[in-house]
């Protein structure tokens, strides 16, 4: 339709996509076979691509999804595997009208399996160069830490020589905090975020996805984050909403993810209209596109249908997501 083509053409920036969450079942099975990885034999979901996709439609919660997410990424072994994964995402993103993508990855989930950090980074960087040359899209990497693990373990990984080198040489733009939210408040990671700030890294954290609005306050105050990933529970706290609007902090909202993981009962329950009315900046993102049934354009279309936005609303959303990006001002000017 005319609207679909309008939404497709909008100059998009994506800020909340976990590269491991772009692992489509077809690539998952292909890599499992090539790398001789045994998928759980006692779970019927791994019997076929269709069975796996059917299981993805029945996620009960963030943790239920994460169980599959961590098993899925166990097929990633070689540099080429990481490159293929990232390239697959960049191709989809470009065809959806993404001009600039800031992508998450979870080094701890690979290092713990004996994969070296350079294998991950070299693979992703090869795909990033190709995306820049062949698709004209700019990209940044955001190194995420797993909050269900002890903060001391996260800090030790943060301080690893090879990871520190990737911060110092600009390969990594910033840090994030992801995985299970309930039971793991942001302030546990205060030391790591303080060090990151001193090193000139940009800082974001998942907060207010399944967890309460308090976790958003906590991430802003204890971690000094510049963005909030998800942040939908902000709608429960009027006072905080005023502060977030006044400070211009951007939320990276992931509509289809929130429905699939049952953080909301339906898209219509998302506070999209409330955020627009309150002057809250937000971008629209896919989170884990291979698991939640859609890339970024599917998320734009779903939001459009649920909230009946007008052209002015879309222009505001796109402008905020360009402004809230961590690219330089020249690149921002090219996109506006
Ligand atoms: N890891 C991948 N996707 C995630 C999400 N939506 N929330 C927390 N951790 C994640
Ligand atoms: Zn996420």
Tokens of 286: 């896919």
Which candidate, 111, 129, 112, places its Cα nearest to that of 120? 111
Is residue 167 over pLDDT 90? Answer: yes
Q: Which of 18, 61, 148 to mutate to test the pocket of ligand 1 (most atoms within 8 A of CB)?
A: 18
Strand order through the sheet with 282-284:
12-14, 98-105, 138-146, 174-178, 202-207, 227-230, 250-253, 282-284
Q: Could you tell me the distance, in angstroms and rounded to a whole number, from the CA of residue 230 to the centre of ligand 1? A: 10
Write out pLDDT tens, residues 265-290.
Answer: 999 999 999 999 999 999 999 999 99
Give the ligand 1 atom nearest the CA of 178. Answer: 9
Average pLDDT of the chain, as a whole number: 98
Q: Are 224 and 256 in contact (CB under 8 A)?
A: no
pLDDT of residue 2: 84
Give the ligand 1 atom nearest the CA of 18. Answer: 2
pLDDT of residue 91: 98
C-beta of 288 in contact with ligand 1 (< 6 A): yes
Is residue 37 over pLDDT 90? Answer: yes
Host H or E run for residue 85: helix 79-95
List the chain domain ranges: 2-335
Residue nearest atom 10 in ligand 1 by C-alpha distance = 179
Write out pLDDT tens, residues 97-136.
Answer: 999 999 999 999 999 999 999 999 999 999 999 999 999 9
* Mean local confidence (pLDDT), 195-206: 98
Q: Are 178 and 172 in contact (CB under 8 A)?
A: no
CA–CA gap between residue 238 and residue 216 (Å, rounded): 13
Which candidate, 267, 318, 263, places its Cα nearest to that of 7? 318
**What is the ipTM metric for this complex?**
0.98
Please check if 288 is assigned to a binding site: yes
pLDDT of residue 130: 98
**Ligand with an atom nearest the CA of residue 227:** 2
C-beta of 209 in contact with ligand 1 (< 6 A): yes
Please check if 110 is assigned to a binding site: no
Q: Could you tell me the distance, in angstroms and rounded to a whole number, from the CA of residue 73 to the centre of ligand 2? A: 15
Q: Which of 20, 102, 209, 226 is catalytic?
A: 209
Q: Could you tell me the distance, in angstroms and rounded to a whole number, from the CA of residue 178 to the centre of ligand 1? A: 5
Please check if 287 is assigned to a binding site: yes
C-beta of 15 in contact with ligand 1 (< 6 A): no
CA–CA gap between residue 273 and residue 269 (Å, rounded): 10
C-beta of 287 in contact with ligand 1 (< 6 A): yes
CA–CA gap between residue 82 and residue 180 (Å, rounded): 23
Instruction: Report yes or no on whether pTM surpasses 0.90.
Output: yes
Write out pLDDT tens, residues 63-86.
Answer: 999 999 999 999 999 999 999 999
C-beta of 206 in contact with ligand 1 (< 6 A): yes
pLDDT of residue 1: 78
Please check if 100 is assigned to a binding site: no
CATH 3.20.20.70 fits 2-335, yes or no: no
Is 209 tagged catalytic? yes
* Mean local confidence (pLDDT), 146-164: 98
């Amino acid at each position: 339709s005319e609207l679909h083509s309008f939404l497709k053409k909008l100059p998009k920036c994506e800020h909340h996509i976990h590269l491991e969450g772009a692992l489509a079942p077809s690539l998952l099975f292909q890599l499992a076979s090539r790398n001789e990885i045994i998928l759980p034999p006692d779970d019927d979901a791994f019997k076929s691509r269709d069975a796996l996709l059917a299981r993805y439609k029945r996620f009960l919660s963030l943790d239920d999804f994460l169980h599959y997410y961590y098993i899925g990424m166990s097929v990633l072994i070689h540099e080429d595997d990481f490159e293929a994964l990232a390239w697959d995402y960049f191709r989809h993103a470009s065809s959806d009208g993404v001009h600039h993508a800031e992508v998450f990855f979870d080094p701890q989930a690979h290092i713990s399996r004996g994969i070296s950090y350079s294998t991950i980074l070299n693979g992703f960087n090869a795909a990033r160069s190709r995306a820049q040359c062949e698709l004209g899209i700019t990209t940044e990497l955001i190194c995420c830490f797993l909050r269900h693990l002890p903060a001391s373990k996260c800090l030790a990984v943060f301080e690893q020589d090879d990871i520190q080198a990737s911060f110092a040489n600009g390969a990594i733009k910033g840090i994030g905090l992801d995985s299970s939210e309930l039971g793991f408040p942001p302030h546990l990671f205060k030391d790591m975020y303080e060090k990151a700030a001193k090193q000139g890294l940009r800082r974001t954290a998942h907060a207010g996805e399944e967890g309460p609005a308090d976790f958003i306050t906590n991430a802003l105050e204890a971690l000094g984050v510049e963005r909030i990933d998800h942040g939908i529970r902000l709608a429960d706290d009027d006072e905080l909403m005023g502060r977030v609007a006044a400070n211009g902090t951007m939320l990276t909202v992931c509509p289809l993810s929130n429905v699939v993981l049952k953080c909301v009962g339906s898209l219509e329950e998302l506070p999209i209209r409330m955020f627009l009315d309150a002057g809250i900046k937000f971008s629209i993102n896919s989170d884990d596109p291979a698991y939640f049934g859609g890339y970024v354009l599917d998320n734009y279309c779903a939001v459009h249908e649920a909230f009946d936005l007008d052209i002015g609303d879309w222009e505001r959303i796109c402008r905020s997501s360009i402004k809230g990006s961590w690219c330089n001002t020249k690149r921002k000017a090219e996109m506006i």
